[in-house]
Chains A and B, each alone.
Chain A
Amino acid sequence: MSPNTWVIEMNSHKSRLFTHPQAHPRSQLSNDAFARRAVSNDNPVFEDISTILSVLKASGLLPFYEQLSSYEVGPPSKTNEFYSFFVRGVVHALTIFNIYSLITPNSAQLFFSLRETDNVNQWIELLLCIFTYTLTVFVCARNTKSMLEIMNEILKLDKEVLRQFGVVLSNNCNFSVKFLVVIVCCQAYIMVLRIYAVKGAITPTSYILIAFYAFQNGLTATYIVFASALLRIVCIRFHFVNQLLNAFTYVQQQKLAKKSRRQPPVSNMEHFPEDSLFIYRTHNKLLRIYKSINECCSLIIVCFLGYSFYTVTTNWYNLFVQITNNKGIISAHILQWCLAWLCLHTSLLALLSRSCGATTYEANSTSQILARVYGKSKEFQNIIDKFLTKSIKQEVQFTAYGFFAIDNSTLFKIFSAVTTYLVILIQFKQLEDSKLEEQVQNEV
């Protein structure tokens, strides 16, 4: 039952394996910085999400890993490490400057408001944003090694799959570029709105603050998109493993039997033992990768969810207040502001929920598919039993730091919580308004 036995058995079935012409010489390369020169012929790793990766690398959230081969990355060189440190230092300095100018009247220009509560609102939003981004930077700095390990594990898995089946797994992460575009547009739009809303001449401090605010939000959002992209990659690999397993289920075997019209379809179950070992091993590896992504990202995701929840609630509230304004003056500025924020955050929440939900679903469906494999011999049944016994009650979940699981239903729960708070807030507002109205009427 230990993984070692499977590795030993794997070697005996090499006769059935395809060999990729490029893979073998490369696998002899040592993890040496000097081998970098041979890299130029290889395909870049994680091609699909290269834009996001470069953005995150440039801002210090991800390390500048060295690509050692098509399927391996190494730790960054010294200069690149220094660069990452430098960027993080600049970010922290700017954060401190930000907080300092918020406390002093330097930023008074940016805070105009109709009511006292709006001011408090903006304060809380700003603080949450700063907190989230600072936390992101800290956690990313701490997790550089584990992030590299995750990437290496994924690449190793891809290499293994290529060696066994000759299939190159695509990543289907085009959505990341689209989301990046959306984020950039929204942030730029918000910046412009902010600049226009400021009365009088704008001080450099205000420029810095506005730019940094957009920068923080944009990068936090980009990190969330990156996490979703990683999850999508893992999901695709789970799906591949499930497809492999699906070929052995009784439904598929019956279809093959109908097509072949020859002897009873025992022939396809021949490969079941060695394929099942590969599948189990790959599934375990993928589970480990999934769990390590969870550990890396969960604190950031918790803070982001809190920040997002708060932003969505306050923006919906402001939107409602504007729309139902009895005085008839609808401020276009506030409308656009609210819509931009809502658009950004809702799409990010939906993306995160869907990625987590899809990956969890794929991970949990392996045992369901295995339950459909019917083998005649005791050996097959034992193989199936081993995996099924191990995965009893092993509910794979993507948790937010252990507080709750993120799933397809998370979006719905957030939505219903937001609605409840909105109802309460709107009722308070209506009460206030009706009292004001009565007083005004009676004065008249």
Chain B
Amino acid sequence: MIQIMNWLSMAIGLIPLNRQQLHSNFLVDYVMMVLVPCLYLIAYFGIIVMQRFGLAFLDACNSVCRLSNNLFMHLGAFLYVTIFVMSLYRRKQFFVDFETHLAEIDVVIKKCRQVADLDKSRVKAVKHSVAYHFTWLFVFGVFIFALYYDASALYGTFGEYAIIPFMVSSFPYLAGSIIQGEFIYHVSVISNRFEQINTLFEKINQEARRRHAPIQVFDIESEGKKQERKSAVIATKTAFGIEQKLADEMKRQKSPHEDEDEMNTSDEEDDDIFDYNDTNTENTESTSETNLPDLFKLHDKILSLSVLTNGEFGPQCVPYMAACFVVSIFGIFLETKVNFIVGGKSPVLDYMTYLYVIWSITTMVVAYIVLRLCCNANNHSKQSAMIVHEIMQKKPAFMLSNDLFYNKMKSFTLQFLHWEGYFQFNGIGLFALDYTFIFSTVSAATSYLIVLLQFDMTAILRSEGLMT
């Protein structure tokens, strides 16, 4: 699925070919990125200057239809030009940096997993859930439907020249959505890495829980008991290893970790089934804890990667959301004020209205997925801090401040606080890519709609001859 989207974006000329190789043929890489915008600009200016091949210049098109068509076309031009300019700004550099950083992160994760004895015998396959596939299919279906509707309507009107109005009507929105798709892909990769380090954190948490029974959390005595247990009990590594693998297996079956479209908030805390005896201590406990500095560094690195991704795709989110907003408002306006009253009388007008509605739904779906994934990534990041906080609470040396372990945890908590104040997925700082964005846009849309819907269209419709 992702590959299809990548090929499509390369074909349309939004990202360069061979994007992960720094030294490849310049001409080959950027040929589509030069060709396709030129085609678009030729079509756009051709329609405006020559006043042909545009829907607005048909006789059947009345003033309402012309206004909506012009708005759709110019909005699309604004969207496409801004997105293209922003894509051109960093070209390959972003992809190369992303891959480099991702490789670094993966190396360290692998090392940590080896130390923590996780999945020695399992291939790290990315298993996707049903919801993931369903979402992709749904999105593809909606896009194909939209493009098909537009193409068929235009073909019916213009014949072979339909490609020209098609370029200025649906193509910009398609391009914008594909860029958002790239954003979604990169954010899901980041989310996936967060999940992996969360499992590693959770492992340390389990070990801490296993060592200290809940009663002894704030007890100074347990410090002494801990020393006794460490020296007294022999651990069999294999025994523990088997049990740990069992635990992981059960966990993995309970919740698919590599699910990009669902929020895994409660899974990692469902540890009631793991009720081991205290007598069974292990040697790998200390090795798992040696992961901590690496895990903290990883968390920081993944957040840096998020900053990088946001720097590249955040600015492209802003015109897309703006276009989505305008198209939705006008779609609702046209649907309720025009189509509801005079639907069926003018096919061109109906086509415009339906085009608005379809593209508003499509862009809203894509925008919602973007927001959801950014929220997910944010939650995973917070989850790390919560798990570390839990680990902190389990240590009886909580109150002593010269403990290296305690200081490490405290350092991570503070680091997370700094990150929280510094970064959140946003669009050039204008709005945070969060669910609160939905709230603010819906309230703004409501207030604009209340004003716009007061507008009296009956006089205009009557003068156009659509009403009696």
Contacts and interface: CB of A to CB of B under 8 A. Distances in A.
B417 A392 contact: yes
B266 interface: no
Interface residues of B, number: 2
Interface in B413-459: 417
A392 B410 CA distance: 13
Interface in B392-419: 401, 417
Contacts of A392: 417
Contacts of B417: 392-393
Contacts, number: 3
A203 interface: no
A382 B401 CA distance: 9
A392 B401 CA distance: 18
B181 to A, nearest CB: 36
Nearest to A385: B401
Interface string B17-52: 000000000000000000000000000000000000
A382 B400 CA distance: 12
Interface in A345-397: 382, 392-393
Interface in A9-57: none
Interface residues of A, number: 3
A318 B299 CA distance: 60
A392 B416 CA distance: 13
A382 B410 CA distance: 14
Contacts of A393: 417
Interface string B239-264: 00000000000000000000000000
Contacts of B401: 382
A392 B414 CA distance: 10
Interface in A79-133: none
B52 to A, nearest CB: 41
Nearest to A393: B417
A399 to B, nearest CB: 19
B37 to A, nearest CB: 41
B450 to A, nearest CB: 11
Interface in A376-427: 382, 392-393
A291 to B, nearest CB: 24
Nearest to A420: B447
Nearest to B447: A420
A439 B109 CA distance: 80
B220 to A, nearest CB: 16
A384 to B, nearest CB: 13
B385 to A, nearest CB: 13
Nearest to A382: B401
A392 B418 CA distance: 11
A412 B141 CA distance: 48
B440 to A, nearest CB: 15
A392 B420 CA distance: 13
Interface in B372-401: 401
A382 B399 CA distance: 12
A231 to B, nearest CB: 28
Nearest to A424: B451
Interface string B339-354: 0000000000000000
A382 B402 CA distance: 11
B444 to A, nearest CB: 13
A393 B385 CA distance: 16
Contacts of A382: 401
A393 B401 CA distance: 22
A289 to B, nearest CB: 28
Nearest to B402: A378
Nearest to B410: A389
A393 B414 CA distance: 12
Nearest to A392: B417
A393 B421 CA distance: 10
A430 to B, nearest CB: 15
A409 to B, nearest CB: 18
A61 B406 CA distance: 53
A392 B417 CA distance: 9
Interface in A52-89: none
A428 to B, nearest CB: 11
A381 to B, nearest CB: 10
A361 to B, nearest CB: 19
Interface in A191-210: none
A315 B108 CA distance: 68
A392 B413 CA distance: 12
A393 B417 CA distance: 9
B71 to A, nearest CB: 24
A392 B421 CA distance: 12
Nearest to B417: A392
B419 to A, nearest CB: 14
Nearest to B401: A382
A393 B416 CA distance: 13
A1 to B, nearest CB: 9
A387 to B, nearest CB: 15
A419 B353 CA distance: 35
A400 to B, nearest CB: 20
Interface string B189-208: 00000000000000000000
Nearest to B420: A393
Interface in A205-242: none
A318 B417 CA distance: 51
A135 B417 CA distance: 42
A314 B313 CA distance: 47
A429 to B, nearest CB: 16
A425 to B, nearest CB: 14
A392 to B, nearest CB: 7
Interface of B: 401, 417
3 contacts: A382-B401, A392-B417, A393-B417
Interface of A: 382, 392-393
3 closest pairs, A vs B, by CB? A392-B417, A382-B401, A393-B417
